[in-house]
Every structure is written in C-alpha cells, then in structure tokens.
Amino acid sequence: MIHIRKGKEPREFQEFRNQADSEYGNMPGKVKKSLLAALCAEQHGLCAYCTCRIPEKAAEKRLQEPMTLEHFYPQHPDNGKRQAAMDLKYKNMHAVCSGNRGCGKETALTCDARKKDNVIQLNPCNEAIISQLYYQSDGTIRAKDPKLDDELRSVHIRPKKKHPQ
C-alpha cells in the first residue's frame, strides 16, 4: 500500500457535486473520467492498495476494467442504503487496479474487488496505518499489528506480477 496525500479535487467534479440530486450513480462519464485522472495522478499511477501500475494493460482481455474508482468507506454498507455523505466525498475516493475482475476465479480477486463493501482499517490516507506496513522479500505486504495483518490477508492486498491464468 502507498500513503496517499489527497490533492485538490477536479473542478468538474466540484461542479457536479454541487448540483441538486447529484450522486455517484448519475455522474456523467466526462466528470468520472476527470476524477479518475486526478486520483491516478495524485497516486503517481499506482493502485492505492497493491501498488501495481494503473491503468493496467488494456490488451489484457481477462480484465473488465483497467482502473476502478474505489470508495474507501462504502457507498452501500450492510443495509444497502446510499450514504450521501460519503459517495461524493473526494477524500473517500482512490484509484485502484482491476483487482483481477473478470479472471473467472472469486478466490483470485484482490484489492477493492475482494474488499467489496467491507469497512477496513487499512486506509491509504492514514499515515499511522501505512507506517505499520512492511514488505517481505516475495513482495507480500505485511503489518506489524496482528489485526491489520489479518485484514491484509483477508482482502489479498499484495503486489501482483501478473494475473492468474
């Protein structure tokens, strides 16, 4: 994982958010594209979770999307209701890799594809959390704190050299 220092949100996104009845689900493609570009730029082109380069190669046919916009705090937690306070909050958004979406194996999912709508402590914007992480020689990300380490394993956040065959 990388520590993310949130920058200034794109003007198009600010204007959209300030409109009546705006929500993530009705965001125009142009606004979403500028939002993803800004998120990717502030993360230096790296997935907020596994640190692989994004966007991934579009030629990789198993991928559904080469880059995804992740809401760290879910838009639809356990009860399925929209959390208006979080779905359009720039500080709650990260650019992430495909998480192996489309590979055909549920067990191969990683990052936000595996995290789904679960709330975790491993927030890439929290420097205190990120400072607890370290890498093993095989690239596996581990945490000094046992609870954080369990979270890392549960969502399979790890650098990916290639997608499963």
| Predicted confidence band of residue 164 (pLDDT cuts 50, 70, 90) | very low
pLDDT tens for 65-124 read: 578 889 998 876 655 555 566 789 999 999 998 888 888 888 888 888 888 888 889 999
Q: DSSP character for 49?
A: T
Gyration radius from the chain CA atoms: 16
Spell out the residues 6+ positions from residue 116 whose beta carbon is closer than 8 angstroms to its own: 74
Max distance between CA atoms of the chain, in angstroms, equals 51
| Predicted confidence band of residue 15 (pLDDT cuts 50, 70, 90) | very high
Q: Is pLDDT of 137 > 60?
A: yes
CA-to-CA distance for 10 and 7, rounded, in angstroms?
9
| 65 phi/psi in degrees, rounded to 5 | -135, 135
Task: Locate the domains of the chain by residue range.
Answer: 11-154
CA-based nearest residue to 134, from 143, 121, 124: 143
* Segments of 85-136 assigned E as strands: 93-96, 133-135
Q: What is the pLDDT of residue 85?
A: 65
pLDDT tens for 25-61 read: 899 999 999 999 999 999 999 999 888 888 655 444 4
